[in-house]
Amino acid sequence: MFEVKEIDESILAQNPVIERMSKYNHEQLLFCNDNDTGLKAIIAVHNTTCGPALGGTRMWNYNNQNEALQDVLRLSRGMTYKNAISGLNLGGGKAVIIGDARSQKSEALFRRFGKFVDSLGGKYITAEDVGINPKDMTYVNMETNHVVGLPGKSGDPSPVTAYGVYQGMKAAAKIQFGSDSLSGKKVAVQGVGHVGEYLVSHLKDEGAEIYISDIHEQTLKHVAETYGATVVGLDDIYDIDMDIYAPCALGATVNDDTLNKLKCSIIAGAANNQLANEDIHGVAVLERGMIYVPDFMINAGGVINCYAEVKGLSSEWAHDKASEIYNTTLNILNRSRENNIPTYQIANQMAEERIEAIGKVKLPF
């Protein structure tokens, strides 16, 4: 569906940006510049077949504009797949503000950004992402209503994200161990911040044996004491005898190095981009008989929470919708086993199937 289209080579030579959009069929890019406020941003709308493109705004000190462009193209496409596989009537989008989040923020910059978001007339809905806090979003909201996750609205998405991860983990256990009970299972949670702590709480309630790591000493101490979890070293977490590895901090922790150490038979966590290289490590986990639950599907609770706000739905609705991650995980894992295809490929296929189906609904008959 997002295959490369043949386009005039002379146009490509003049405009590599369009070539890059064309590679994964991005619909629209909005380059935003304002000399007075110092705003430099890119808003990417990847696909709006299922609905308005929703995805957060990231503020990052990119080394150059190419990096920013690459990031926004990659992230917006990821949102299309995440929203589609989660059954939400949303497309995929993302925005990046180029700049140092510690020193280059101002009310004027975010309000100017809000005007650019508003100029898209609701085709793009924004939210917080890395480098952005609720106060920044309040400024954006002064200029546009197309913002979710504001203070006093749907609130911190982490509990819903953690609940979804927990559901996906149970479904993976059902396939791998024959029962979805996590009682007595050894689960290693890497990163016990917002999502990680809520996940640990579910695991504790179910009687799992919990191991945790975190770079932040106080967080580690708090979670260990509150939930009776065992602390392990930052690098040791890959070596311990465990059933389930739950990355909830960083991306790319499933790589050549760690795969030689990991003794788990399930990888299920909240972090984005867990596979260092999808094509290599997605296949490698399958060959080792491990189950990898695709990150963009299992961590969709956050966007489900945002969707509830967009549609005026309750937090109970968001919780119930996140429960569906259990069945979606079962579907992916069964299809993966039947066809011996890596789980991330099945998840991508399922997202594309839904976009194709919904695209038919909207055909102008």
Separation between Cα atoms, residue 245 and residue 213, nearest integer Å: 11
Q: Which of 214, 242, 244, 309 is the binder for ligand NAD (CB under 6 A)? A: 214
In the bound complex, what is the minimum distance in angstroms from residue 359's beta carbon to ligand NAD?
Answer: 26
Nearer to ligand NAD, 116 or 238 (CB): 238
Q: Which of 93, 196, 294, 342 binds ligand NAD (CB under 6 A)?
A: 196
**Dist CA 292 CA 144 (whole Å):** 39
For residue 141, CA distances in Å to 40, 60, 113, 123, 304 come to 18, 20, 10, 16, 20
The count of residues interacting with ligand NAD (CB under 6 A) is 24
| Shortest Å distance, C-beta 91 to ligand NAD | 18
Whether 360 sits among the annotated catalytic residues: the reply is no
Contact residue for ligand NAD among 150, 193, 283, 315 (CB under 6 A) = 193
Establish if 210 lies at the interface with ligand NAD (CB under 6 A): no
Q: How far apart are CA 163 and CA 318, in angstroms?
A: 10
| Piece of 119-127, 157-165, 169-177, 348-356 that binds ligand NAD (CB under 6 A) | 157-165
- Phi, psi at 222, each rounded to 5°: -60, -50
**The length of the chain, given as a count of residues:** 365
Beta-bridge mates of residue 60: 98
If binding is defined by CB under 6 A, does position 357 make contact with ligand NAD? no
Among 132, 169, 175, 249, binds ligand NAD (CB under 6 A): 249
d(Cα 298, Cα 278) in Å, to the nearest integer?
A: 16
Nearest-CA neighbor of 166 among 197, 211, 128, 129? 197
191 is a contact residue toward ligand NAD (CB under 6 A): yes
Directed axis angle between helix 343-361 and helix 325-339, to 10°? 110
Q: Which of 5, 23, 40, 94 is catalytic?
A: 94
**Ramachandran region, residue 189 (left: φ > 0; alpha: ψ -120 to 50; beta: rest):** beta
**Binding window for ligand NAD (CB under 6 A); candidates: 97-105, 210-218, 315-323, 329-337:** 210-218
| Of 104 and 272, CB closest to ligand NAD | 272
Q: Which is nearer to ligand NAD, 79 or 182 (CB)?
A: 79
User: Would you say the C-alpha torsion 161, 150, 312, 74 has a positive or negative sign?
Assistant: negative
Write out the catalytic residue numbers: 94
Site for ligand NAD, rule CB under 6 A: 157-158, 161, 190-196, 213-216, 219, 234, 248-250, 270-272, 299, 302
